[in-house]
Amino acid sequence: MNSRPLGDLIQGDRKLAELAGRAQQLMRLDAAWRRLLPDALAEGSQAVCINGDALVVFAANAAVASRLRFLESTLLPRLAEAGYPVRVLRIRVAAPLAPPRNRENRLKIGEKGLAALADAAGALPDEGLRRALAAFVRHQLSRDD
């Protein structure tokens, strides 16, 4: 395993260095965007990229998007002062990410497997690992299936 710092690895590869530089630019753009806005709008929006003469902004919902469109004429000069001379905002309502599904654990370890794990737990030299494996076996035995 290589123990070089991540920064050295990134700088050692031209494509990774370009990507890291681009990511830094986008983070600076978003930080500048957020500084121009009231807290509620800053939290509900993200400057994504500059596409031609347009700043692409994702809004968390339609209300945020509407408010940003209303403020566009005042935001554009302030963006130019901050070093981002765009002529228009392209505001898009970002689709919400689906909440993570609670997956049911259907792992079923057979009796022989549990017996082997119990034997292995008893033979482990590390006390913490031995207790953890024994607790896992007890949990598996107590599950309602």
Report the candidate in 14, 11, 57 with the shortest Cα–Cα distance to residue 33.
57
Distance CA 81, CA 127 (A): 63
Using a 10 angstrom Cβ sphere, with 0-12 exposed, 13-18 middle and 19 or more buried, the burial of residue 29 is: buried
Confidence category of residue 12, pLDDT binned at 50, 70, 90: low
As a three-state string, the secondary structure of 68-93 is HHHHHHHHHHHHHHCCCCCCEEEEEE
pLDDT tens string 49-81 = 999 999 999 999 999 999 999 999 999 999 999
β partners of residue 47: 57
pLDDT tens string 24-45 = 999 999 999 999 999 999 999 9
Given a cut of 70, whether residue 4 has pLDDT beyond it is no
pTM: 0.58
